[in-house]
Amino acid sequence: MKSHGFEARTTGNTDGGADIIAKTTIGELNKKFYIQCKYYNKSVSVHAIQEAYAGCAYHGNDGTPVVITNNRITPNARRYAKKMGVEVIGDLEIKALFKAQATGEIFNPKKNELMAILLGSITNNEEYTLQVLIEPEQIQEVDNKERLKIELMEGFDKAAELTREAARLYEVASNNTQMALALQKELLLKNLEYG
């Protein structure tokens, strides 16, 4: 955050749901963010959104709650975040940041404040950032093709997640079946001993 012009600090053990508090000034606008960081090897769920929302309230409720993760954010968590006013930066947004860094161009403009500030900083385009922060309704929506692509990817991710869960449950069921057979065998042998 500091490398992008933020004054930032970690909250320590008493985070209340916010790991980082970051402030910046863009033009004449002062912005403050309460950031919940989730470095996960699994998808981020609604719980992280609730933590960020609580962290913002805990620290004064004078900024925007944000969840940043290296992984995907479930569609349900994204919908919940939108309703709660929590900004999310997940794997899709991280890819957009890396793409902007590699090309110097902004693809699929985001209406989210922190994302817009980071994209503007990476591409040295303060005009873009100000446009998002001052006139968010004028930023182009992601075109229908890109939106469909995102929805399809989220659908495939959800299907893959459910497939992994089904495989895990099948393994549990198989183990339980083996244990039940072993128990039946043991009981049958005891019955024959005493019979």
Please tell me whether residues 115 and 159 are part of one structural domain: no
CA dihedral 149, 137, 115, 133 (to 10 degrees): 170
How confident is the model at residue 110, as a pLDDT?
Answer: 61
Please tell me whether residues 41 and 101 are part of one structural domain: yes
Last residue in a domain, options 140, 157, 186? 140
Q: Is 27 exposed, middle or buried (0-12, 13-18, 19+ CB in 10 A)?
A: exposed
DSSP 143: P
Q: How confident is the model at residue 108 (pLDDT cuts 50, 70, 90)?
A: low
Integer Cα distance of 103 and 181 in angstroms: 61
Please tell me whether residues 123 and 179 are part of one structural domain: no
How confident is the model at residue 109, as a pLDDT?
Answer: 59
DSSP 6: -
Q: How confident is the model at residue 144 (pLDDT cuts 50, 70, 90)?
A: low
Instruction: Choose among 7, 79, 86, 4: nearest CA to 50.
Output: 86
User: CA distances (Å), 9 to each of 29, 57, 164, 172, in order?
Assistant: 20, 17, 38, 44
Domain count within the chain? 2
Please tell me whether residues 129 and 162 are part of one structural domain: no
Please tell me whether residues 88 and 159 are part of one structural domain: no
Give the domain CATH number at 84: 3.40.1350.10
Q: How confident is the model at residue 161 (pLDDT cuts 50, 70, 90)?
A: confident
Q: How confident is the model at residue 6 (pLDDT cuts 50, 70, 90)?
A: very high
Asked if the model's pLDDT at residue 138 lies above 50, the reply is no
Please tell me whether residues 57 and 152 are part of one structural domain: no
Asked if the model's pLDDT at residue 181 lies above 50, the reply is yes
How confident is the model at residue 131, as a pLDDT?
Answer: 78
pTM over 0.95: no
Please tell me whether residues 81 and 7 are part of one structural domain: yes
Q: How confident is the model at residue 17 (pLDDT cuts 50, 70, 90)?
A: confident
Please tell me whether residues 154 and 126 are part of one structural domain: no
Last residue in a domain, options 140, 155, 181? 140
Q: How confident is the model at residue 140 (pLDDT cuts 50, 70, 90)?
A: very low
How confident is the model at residue 142, as a pLDDT?
Answer: 47
pLDDT in tens, 51-107: 999 999 999 889 999 999 999 998 889 889 989 999 999 988 898 899 989 998 887
Q: Domain range spanning residue 147?
A: 142-195
How confident is the model at residue 106, as a pLDDT?
Answer: 84
Please tell me whether residues 101 and 65 are part of one structural domain: yes
Please tell me whether residues 133 and 148 are part of one structural domain: no
Instruction: Choose among 105, 108, 72: nearest CA to 90.
Output: 72
Please tell me whether residues 35 and 47 are part of one structural domain: yes
CA dihedral 169, 174, 180, 183 (to 10 degrees): -130
Please tell me whether residues 136 and 172 are part of one structural domain: no
